[in-house]
Amino acid sequence: MRKAGILLPIFSLPGKYGIGCLSKAAYDFVDFLARSGQSYWQILPIGPTGYGDSPYQTFCTFAGNPYFISLEELVSEGLLETSDLKKVDFGRDEEIIDYGQLYKVRFNVLKKAFKNSRHKGTDAYKAFEEENADWLSDYALFMALKDKYDGISFTKWPDELRFRDEKALKKAEKELAETMDFYGFLQYKFYEQWFKLKKYANEKGIGIIGDIPIYVSPDSSDLWANPKLFQTDENGELINVAGCPPDAFTPLGQLWGNPVYNWDHHKKTGYGWWITRMRRCIRLYDVVRIDHFRGFDEYYTIKAGKTDATEGVWMKGPGIELFKVMKKELGKMNIIAEDLGFITPSVRKLVKDTGFPNMKVLEFAFDPNDHKGKGEFLPHNYNSNSVVYTGTHDNETLVGYIKGTSPKVRKAVLSYLDLHTRDAKKIAAALVRLALSSVSELAVIPVQDYLMLDNRARINTPSTLGGNWVWRLKEEDLNADLSEKIKNLTDMFGRNTGEKKAK
């Protein structure tokens, strides 16, 4: 069944208090999607971010981002007063996130809510702790220790804590009990608000497409608490890290620095960690997009300590075996395979064998050297078991792409569309229609491309620091005219699965 969705990170939602969150604005966006004939809201990873603010580098793969906790909801619960928020500077520009300012002030506000809370000892909180026992206490202690050591990486902690000496951990748990409770409270509130929003969305006919990175962060409770899951030596030191090999655009390759998995250990343990992770994702989301899916087939690894990715090697991943075990344990999974980048025949086979839809991105389609129309991102070469995007969070906006691309590429775009115009917005609008008209069962359009925004609204420029993950919608952007425009397009190309329940 043909469907459509919109890509919008939670942090990009409009509203007060410095960053998009699980507030009224999130519910309003769900209503906007329903009115617009959409079936899905695609988000980015929801974990707590660290240095660089990337949602793909989080302190824990199971935790939620405390910045996304709705302060308005805490006020309505009586845990905060409106006056607690009015006197705080969350950032002066409501269209740009100031993460530095948020770090300074938002946790102080959340600590007030924590001190006013009576969550400890309640049946609901006990149930939450039991349900999340496999990660919550490790994460809470990890964050409490990070606070104690001024946010430095756990690799720089005293050895007895870094390498988890049992005596030292018990001492730290006793000393930092209140801080650990604070971080537990934040997760309790985050997930309470998350599941409330998801229930609302589902009742309106809107599914949530979540996004998970294949790798964990090198500074995470995942690595700290479970070094055996990764390629580490007997001291817990990383042996190899993840990255991408050199290409025409990056002569030194990309050194991501993420720990790579010890797949032999995962196999011996029946892939238990991955099953736990995916079981959680299935509960959190209606569909799961797995970033860098090709890493399950083969992954590029570099010796830890190298300064670039030129000397890496390709190693075999778990392949189809992992997904067979998952299917046996979890049943049918709704997964989107992000198979972008350098794709080999074995990767294509893995994607085909899993049966998961893969991704098609229009901004990758118009290679001026492709004179025979064989490019896999050209819509006439799609099959229905795919998800088409005009662009992803790592791409330019469509308008920015048209304005900045080479004359050859622009000529290829215009030729394919049979257009004769220099107007970037008209070309972008035609590309949106092209995506929606394709045979792909699902079409997901970043909201910036419906709004015809330029690269000032770009989410991320890969391999750069600063200026990423900061763009936010204005409240007036999500108006009735835009909703009607989107609904008309969705209806026109048979992607509206029925009238949604919208206010």
| Cα four-point dihedral sign 429, 390, 387, 208 | negative
The active-site residue out of 31, 297, 338, 396 is: 338
- The 8-class DSSP code of residue 362 comes to G
Closest CA to 352 of 385, 401, 330, 313: 385
**Contact present, 359 and 376 (Cβ < 8 Å):** no
Instruction: Return the structure tokens found at 31.
Output: 């209503």
**Contact present, 402 and 427 (Cβ < 8 Å):** yes
Q: What are phi and psi of 20, to 5 degrees?
A: -65, 145
Between the alpha carbon of residue 32 and those of residues 7, 141, 306, the distances in Å are: 13, 40, 48
For the question of residue 291 being annotated catalytic, the response is yes
- The 8-class DSSP code of residue 456 comes to G
**Contact present, 441 and 3 (Cβ < 8 Å):** yes
- Give the whole-angstrom CA distance, residue 269 versus residue 263: 10
Radius of gyration of the chain (CA): 23
The active-site residue out of 94, 95, 367, 394 is: 394
The active-site residue out of 73, 211, 291, 454 is: 291
Between the alpha carbon of residue 29 and those of residues 215, 411, 487, the distances in Å are: 30, 36, 14
Closest CA to 500 of 491, 289, 21, 197: 491
For the question of residue 394 being annotated catalytic, the response is yes
**Contact present, 306 and 242 (Cβ < 8 Å):** no
- Give the whole-angstrom CA distance, residue 221 versus residue 142: 6
Q: Which residues pair with 363 in a beta bridge?
A: none
Q: Say if residue 123 is exposed, middle or buried (CB neighbours under 10 Å; 0-12, 13-18, 19+).
A: exposed
For the question of residue 73 being annotated catalytic, the response is no
Catalytic site positions:
291, 338, 394
